[in-house]
């Protein structure tokens, strides 16, 4: 596969080049990252170092999942055990978004020693990955194999990630933390309207695979409102995971069934792909902004790099002195520049060398800042126009702080709604369609309109680039755990949430806040209805922005901790009525 690097005219300006050079020479850094250095930072916490909230808070996209987490906390578990309970329950009750057939990324902070670490349970490409599988005979992209069926599925990371969390950070045995999910899968639950709609939307694809029909279209139809729905196969798979740890999924009965089902349907997984899956611990990206420290996702997510780059650009402006339209203008221009780098540079750190020191350097940000005109949009130009898809209602984020002050932000996904729609017979496991997050076909956008380069080309065992941005915001007076689904819009939504938190907004206000998004290409600002008052919208249009209505936004689940009053708050996104944020 060959790639040509796109070079937008404005982006390679002399001032930018000089800034890069200075950044590299001086090596100054407002954002810190150690790709292969110490596995994680142990940070001296600000004032909350010895503080314990005494209560716990969880916000997730489904009340069954939040309650499962609270149940495990009540049994003596900590935030990390609760995260296992929440994620596994979401696998059962919110399969359109995430599950044990997918992967997650998490940033955690352990209260006892201040250890901060990124847990990478992202999917990997199977060893037999072949770019030709994602092309039609005429050489054009095959969007079907990229998004549906077993070829679209990466080797799942979620089961290994849950076992890892329990083993290395939890207090309870894995089986105790998985118990609520197993119980709900066995006893049944009432699917919410989102799940019923997701099944109806994807019914044509689900119908292609008999085990998917058996699970999601009982009697040929999506489950009816109010009907109890059971998932005994997934309960059995979770039981094996509970009993044997990661081996219960990656070796033995489940692994054999997964490989057999995938291969029978035209996929290319092997037993060695599953047995060889490894969770990675990485140093998070840490960036300082207006007295707060944001601890967020490093590659193979592009999220943290983009958030750090945007904040480094914005720190040079006195945003408080500007009217709203000019403030928004600067934020959009910072987003545009960060997404351009996303397209060019980023991929799996175990496979590609990335200029992270440069991207995270304040000198680099200085150069980018200088290229922003005070009253005018910068055209992204040069790249062909690519339409970004509506991200829909898939992927999920949850946030937890426990009574001891342990914090964890988890974003988990099967990628598109109901992933690949392929259920591996006899396992209850719905496989992801994460392969589409690779740059499968050079120069062609993925389902989120994201373009990639050679850095994100598929390779055996490689992790596909993600936008997931689970984040902690640590301050002397207040801290927060934050994140969202939303494909490429994850990054900008989380950024806006972080800015709102730093501006003093409550968890409820942050989760409800209207949102906007720019991702370099297409060159337009996606806007949620009501995000800009008419005068601000007019002003932005005069500066040259195309405002493009977008219906679907992520579901943000936020937990905040006020260190002055030592109180917690939890809020679930009002866009997702089944969500629940609760302090216990
Ligand atoms: O990892 C990623 O960036 C995507 N697979 C996330 C997909 C997503 O957020 C879909 N959203 N609503």
Output the pLDDT for position 39: 34
Ligand 1 centre and the CA of 203: distance in Å?
A: 20
Residue-by-residue DSSP string for 107-155: EEE-TTT-EEEEEEE--B--TT--GGGGB-TTSSB-HHHHHSSGGGPPB
CA-based nearest residue to 429, from 419, 441, 438: 419
Output the pLDDT for position 443: 74
pLDDT tens for 7-66 read 222 233 333 333 333 333 333 334 444 333 323 444 444 445 579 999 999 999 999 999
Residue ranges in the chain modelled with pLDDT below 50: 1-47, 382-389, 391
* CA 342/CA 50 separation, integer angstroms: 38
Residues with CB under 6 A from ligand 1: 391-392, 394-395, 413, 415, 434, 437, 466-468, 485-487, 490, 554
Classified as helix, coil or strand, 322 is coil
Output the pLDDT for position 271: 98
**Environment class of residue 373 by beta-carbon count within 10 Å: exposed (0-12), middle (13-18) or buried (19+)?**
exposed
Output the pLDDT for position 393: 56
pLDDT above 70 covers a percentage of the chain that reads: 89
CA-based nearest residue to 108, from 283, 362, 360, 333: 283
CA trace torsion 244, 249, 252, 258 (10° rounding): 170
Output the pLDDT for position 567: 98
Output the pLDDT for position 29: 38
* CA 331/CA 314 separation, integer angstroms: 7
Output the CA–CA distances (angstroms, integers) from residue 576 to 80, 131, 223, 554, in the order listed: 24, 37, 19, 9
Asked if 395 is an active-site residue, the reply is yes
Output the pLDDT for position 43: 47
**Ligand 1 pocket test target in 97, 121, 395, 412 with most atoms within 8 Å of CB:** 395
Output the pLDDT for position 40: 41
Ligand 1 centre and the CA of 279: distance in Å?
A: 19
Output the pLDDT for position 583: 98
CA-based nearest residue to 231, from 494, 466, 410, 430: 430
Output the pLDDT for position 342: 73
pTM of this prediction? Answer: 0.91
Output the pLDDT for position 357: 94
Output the pLDDT for position 344: 73
């Amino acid at each position: 596969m060959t790639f040509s690097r796109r070079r937008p005219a404005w982006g390679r300006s002399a001032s930018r080049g000089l800034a890069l050079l200075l950044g590299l020479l001086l090596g100054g850094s407002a954002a810190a990252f150690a790709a292969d250095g110490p596995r994680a930072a142990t940070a001296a916490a600000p004032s909350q170092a010895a503080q314990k909230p005494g209560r716990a808070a969880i916000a997730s996209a489904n009340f069954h999942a939040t309650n499962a987490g609270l149940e495990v906390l009540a049994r003596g578990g900590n935030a990390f055990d609760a995260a296992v309970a929440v994620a596994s329950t979401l696998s059962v009750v919110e399969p359109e978004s995430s599950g044990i057939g997918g992967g997650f990324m998490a940033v955690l902070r352990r209260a006892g020693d201040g250890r901060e670490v990124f847990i990478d349970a992202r999917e990997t490409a199977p060893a037999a990955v072949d770019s030709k599988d994602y092309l039609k005979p005429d050489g054009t992209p095959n969007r079907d194999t990229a998004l549906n069926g077993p070829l679209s599925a990466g080797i799942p990371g979620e089961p290994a990630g849950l076992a890892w969390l329990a083993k290395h950070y939890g207090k309870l045995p894995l089986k105790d933390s998985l118990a609520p999910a197993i119980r709900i899968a066995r006893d049944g639950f009432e699917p919410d309207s989102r799940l019923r709609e997701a099944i109806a939307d994807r019914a044509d694809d689900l119908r292609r695979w008999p085990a998917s029909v058996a699970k999601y279209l009982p009697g040929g139809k999506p489950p009816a409102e109010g009907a109890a729905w059971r998932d005994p196969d997934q309960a059995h798979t979770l039981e094996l995971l509970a009993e044997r740890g990661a081996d219960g999924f990656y070796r033995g009965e489940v692994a054999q069934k997964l490989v057999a089902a995938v291969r029978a349907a035209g996929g290319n997984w092997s037993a060695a792909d599953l047995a060889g899956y490894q969770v990675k611990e990485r140093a998070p990206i840490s960036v300082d902004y207006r007295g707060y420290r944001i601890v967020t996702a490093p590659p193979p997510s592009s999220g943290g790099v983009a958030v750090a780059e945007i904040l480094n650009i914005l720190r040079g402006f006195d945003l408080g002195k500007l009217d709203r339209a000019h403030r928004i203008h600067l934020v959009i221009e910072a987003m545009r520049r960060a997404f351009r780098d996303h397209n060019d540079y980023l991929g799996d750190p175990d496979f590609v060398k990335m200029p992270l020191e440069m991207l995270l350097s304040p000198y680099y940000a200085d150069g980018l800042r200088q290229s922003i005109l005070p009253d005018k949009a910068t055209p992204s130009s040069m790249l062909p126009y690519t339409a970004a898809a509506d991200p829909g209602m898939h992927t999920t984020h949850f946030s937890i702080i426990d009574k001891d002050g342990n914090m964890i932000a988890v974003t988990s996904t099967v990628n598109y709604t109901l992933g690949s729609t392929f259920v591996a017979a006899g396992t209850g496991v719905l496989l992801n369609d994460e392969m589409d997050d690779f740059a499968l076909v050079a120069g062609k956008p993925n389902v989120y309109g994201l373009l990639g380069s050679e850095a994100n080309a598929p390779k055996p065992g490689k992790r596909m680039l993600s936008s997931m941005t689970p984040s902690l915001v640590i301050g002397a007076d207040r801290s927060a755990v934050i994140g969202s689904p939303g494909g490429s819009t994850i990054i900008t939504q989380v950024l806006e949430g972080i800015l709102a938190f730093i501006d003093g907004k409550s968890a409820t206000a942050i989760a409800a806040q209207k949102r906007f998004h720019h991702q370099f290409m297409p060159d337009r600002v996606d806007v949620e209805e009501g995000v800009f008052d008419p005068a601000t919208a007019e002003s932005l249009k005069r500066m040259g922005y195309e405002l493009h209505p977008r219906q679907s936004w992520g579901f943000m689940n936020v937990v905040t901790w006020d260190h002055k009053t030592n109180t917690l708050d939890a809020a679930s996104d009002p866009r997702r009525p089944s969500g629940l944020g609760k302090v216990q």
